[in-house]
Each structure stands twice: as C-alpha cells, then as structure tokens.
Chains A and B, each alone.
Chain A
Amino acid sequence: MNKYLADRLATACFWAAAAVITGILLFFLTHIFWRGAPVLSLAFVLGTPREMTAGGGVGPQLFNTFYILVLSLLFSLPIGVGAGIYLAEYARPGPLTNLIRLSTECLASVPSIVLGLFGAVVFVWYLGLGFCILAGAAALALLNLPVLVRVTEEALRAIPVSYREASLALGATKWQTIRRVVLPSALLGMVTGVSLVAGRALGESAILIYTAGLSVSRYFPDFDPFVAGETLAVHLWYVNAQSLVPDATRIADGSAALLVLVVLVFNLCIGIPSRILQRRLLGGGGK
C-alpha cells in the first residue's frame, strides 16, 4: 500500500505549491494596495511632481506612460501584424521562414535593458533625438514587436482553413481573403494579444530610462514627442533610487499601487468586453 501513500503525499505537495503561489500573489497585491491606497488621491494621480518638496503628484508620468504606449504601438503594430500575417499566411517552410522565426524568437529574448542601450545608441545618439518620448516609444516598439508577431500568428492560425478555402473558392484573392475573412475572424484573438503586449509595455522601465529619460515636461499635458518623458514605472524606480523629495516613500507607495491598478484596469477593460463579444459570437452559432 506504499504507492498509495506516495500518491497522497505527492498530491498534497502539489496543492501546497499552488497554495504558496496563490499566497505570494495575494500577499503582493494586498501589500501594494495596503500601502498605496491611502496615497491615491486625485491630487496625487493628476498633480505635478516636485523636485525638492513634499506633496508632489504623478500626473505627467501617468500621461507619458500612455502617450509612449500609444506611440510605440503605432510603430510596432503595422510591422508586427504584417510579419505575423506573413508567417501565418504566406510563409512556406524554408530557410527564409526559419530565419524570420529565429529572428523573432531572438528579439523576444533580448533583455529589455539591452534593447534600451540599443535605443540609446541608435535613436538618442545617432539619430540625434536626445532623451525624448519619441526615442522611448521607438525603443519600446522593439520590445513589443516579437510578441505582436507571435500573437498575430497564433490568432490567425486559430482560424479554420475551411474559411480560407471557401473564400478562395469564390474567386477571392489571397489579400481579399485575409482582409475580409481571416482578419475579422481573428480580431478578438489579436485584441487580447495586443492587450497583453500593452499591459507589459505599461510597466516597462529598463528600456525607457536611457531613451525617454528621467524628467518630465513642465507643461501638462504636453504632446510634444521631442521632450523627455518619464513614465510612471520609471518614476517609481527613480523615486526609490535617487530622488531628493522628503516624501519619496509616500510617492513610491502611491506610484506602485497606481501602476498595478493601471495595468489591471487596462487588461480588464480590454479583456472583459472581448470575452463577452466572443461568447456572443460563439453563442449565436449552432453546433
């Protein structure tokens, strides 16, 4: 009967592991919001930061976070989706396809600090942009790119071949088939994928420190892409590492909570409607 004992012991270990993982997560979230919630006022969320005195807010950082995200998606979405479409719809097995797939995997594995240095060399120095929102967005786009390629390819591959065959059998060209049948059907999958990319980009900091810089414009909101634009995540690091304000702890607590809140709300805002839409689409269909 020894093997039954071993089995029960193993099962207990797996349950324990799951409990530990969940416990860590719950503890982290409680810690973040326990400390951060008292700080989160409108004055903090939308206020302007101060260099030397207490009471500053993070309004510009919050704005920059979204501004850089949008710009970076503007750069990376067309290329990432295009490359994903190529891999899913056009690529035939061969050295070229292998090379592209390998490149995507490699780009995905490059540490973000290394991409940050690359962005610093190319965008900040060679192109002479200086530390600015545009340089940060361009570097961030490199980080988004491989993930976008992957989620696009996966979303397209999930579409049954029969849709494509039906369209082609009606005399549609490949592009018409992609544009009118495949992409609309894959849209939900792609939106979910993009929301994952965006969630990650919102919290990204290593790639932005030496591209978008550590300061914010005096004006708020400032849409000029050529000024330095510190984001919320970078600000959280900066406040902890080298800020001179007396209430650094308070600002760090608030920033951490706000940052996690922003990422969660962002994912919920995109995740829940798309899930409902998906259900409606599937629910409308008989077997």
Chain B
Amino acid sequence: MTRIRHSVLWYDRFFRYVFVASAALVSLIILAVVFFVARQGFLTFTVVSPWEFLFTTNWNPPANYGAFTFIFGSFAVTVLAICFGGPLGLAGAIFLAKVAPEWVRESLRPATDLFVGIPSVVYGWIGLTVFVPFVREHVNGAGFGLLVAGIILGIMILPTVISVSEDSLRAVSPALEEASYGLGATRWQTLSRVVLPAAAPGLVTAVILGMARAIGEAMAVQMVIGNSPQFPRSLVTPTATLTSEIVLEMGNTPFGSTWNNALFFMAFTLLVLSLAMILVVRLVVRHRGATP
C-alpha cells in the first residue's frame, strides 16, 4: 500500500511538472517566433536605410527596397475589409443574438461554421473566378486590386466579427433590457441605447480581431491583388500587400540575401501589427472590467 501511495504521489507531482512545462513552452514559442523573425528582418538595415524601406515606393531589388506600397496595401485592404465586413457582421450578430426567432437562429448556426470551414485559398479562388471577372467587366480595369481583395477579406472576417460580437451581446444582462422594455422602449431603442453601448467593448474587440485576421491573410489576397509592386492609383489597379509580396517572392530569393531579409522584415512588421492589436484588445477588455 505504501508503495502504491508513493507512486500515486509521484505521478501527481510528475504531471504537474509536465503541464507547467507545456504551458511554459507556449510562451517560449512566441518569444522564439518574435526573436527569429526580428533577427532575420533587422539584417535588412545593414544594407538598406529604414527610411527608404518604410517611406519610399520604389521596390526594385536588389537596387531599391522601398516597401511603402506594401505597407499601404496591407492597411488599405484591412480598412476596406472592415468597411465591408464590419457593419454586415455586426448586423448579423445583432440579428442572431437579439432579433432572430429560435428556429432561424438554430438553422443559421451552422452557417458561421461553414464560413470558417472554407479554406482561405478557396476564398482566393472564388475571388479569382467570380469577383475579378465581374469587376473587370462591370467596373473597369484588370479586376485585380484593392477592391476585390477588400471584398473577399470582408467576407472572410465575417465569422470572427459575428461570433465575438454575438458573445458580447449575449453577455449583456437581461435585467438591463427588461428595464428598458419596462419603460416602454421599442426593441430598436433598447438595442441602440442600452444593449449596444453595454456591449461596446466586445464589439470593438470583434472589429479589431477582424482587422487582425484581415491584415495577416496571405493566400486569398495574393490571388486577387494583382501582385504588381506599384502604388495603387485606384481601387481596381493591381498592387501588392506585405503578405502577398512575401508569398510571391519568398521562393525566388536565397536565404540570407538582403532581398530575403527584407521579406522577413515585412513579416516582422505584420507580427508587430498583430501583437499590437492583441494588446489593444486586452486594454479594451480591461477597460470593460473597470466599468461594470
């Protein structure tokens, strides 16, 4: 019995360490990611000036490394994605959380799962086979460009926006709503004046997470952006983003070359932007915690 007892306690301690180690490993991995990508990326500046890289638009390696077009492109598609996907996603979330009858809600539930289930290359392929030809024929230009990329990304961020904001809408205390209804408010008045303000931090979080998803998306954007390193003169001229440029050129550049390092610095830029968004989300959520 004492030997069994002994081994039982040994296992207990052993697994505690296993779990602590697993958790520590997760922290270690993210640190390693930041370290390796940053180290490789900053090697760029042994040759290229940061000013040239960040603020000029002439991308012609190995002579010129002006990456501003890509940085602008990434921001532009993100903003467009939020313009298309944000309002639609929020309205969908409000519908699911507060408007839809039970049976509609239950039958729509798989829809968001399906949106998540479609891989990003398939979104890109749809953009390529549906939206690009459509824009080419009915708007103008080649079809490739910020507009189609923004639309595709707007659709891709829908599930993120919907699920996060639906959760925060549901978290609003029913007592608040009842108080409003009890004063004779209509549903829209209750929603717009009580529920939405109460859920605001969650809705902001949803939009930021949607942005993080959009700015980091590579494949779908690469397939519809046009991949031309020129500053876009309109929404329908081919251009490029940080992600699309990495996808396109990574394979053609030898590891360790300045060109390759420049791509790593683009990745580092993306990394910093994504991490910054997570920190913003944390601040927003903490703010909510401070004001009950």
Contacts and interface: CB of A to CB of B under 8 A. Distances in A.
Given A4-B186, A113-B246, A203-B120, A22 B111 contact: yes
Nearest to A9: B188
A241 interface: yes
Given A87-B23, A240-B223, A14 B126 contact: no
A263 B263 CA distance: 31
B99 A237 contact: no
B117 A17 contact: no
A224 interface: no
Contacts of B283: none
A32 interface: yes
Contacts of A173: 8-9, 11-12
B171 interface: no
Contacts of A52: none
A110 B271 contact: yes
Interface string B242-277: 010011001100010000000110010011001101
B99 A11 contact: yes
Interface in B90-148: 91-92, 94-96, 99-100, 104, 108, 111, 113-122, 124-126, 128-130
B35 to A, nearest CB: 9
**Most chain B C-beta atoms within 10 Å of own C-beta, residue among A4, A32, A174, A237:** A237
A107 interface: yes
A109 B278 contact: yes
Nearest to A174: B12
Contacts, number: 256
Q: For this complex, into which size category does the number of interface residues on chain B fall?
A: 35 or more
Interface string B216-258: 1111001100000000000000000001001100110001000
B24 interface: yes
A2 B26 CA distance: 56
Nearest to B89: A21
A204 B37 contact: no
Interface stretch (B14-22, B51-59, B61-69, B172-180): B14-22
A117 to B, nearest CB: 5
14 contacts: A3-B186, A10-B191, A14-B94, A18-B104, A21-B88, A100-B27, A109-B278, A110-B271, A114-B267, A203-B120, A205-B120, A241-B222, A256-B121, A260-B118
Interface of B: 8-9, 11-12, 14-16, 18-27, 29-33, 36-37, 40, 88, 91-92, 94-96, 99-100, 104, 108, 111, 113-122, 124-126, 128-130, 155, 158, 162, 186-189, 191-192, 212, 215-219, 222-223, 243, 246-247, 250-251, 255, 263-264, 267, 270-271, 274-275, 277-278, 281-282
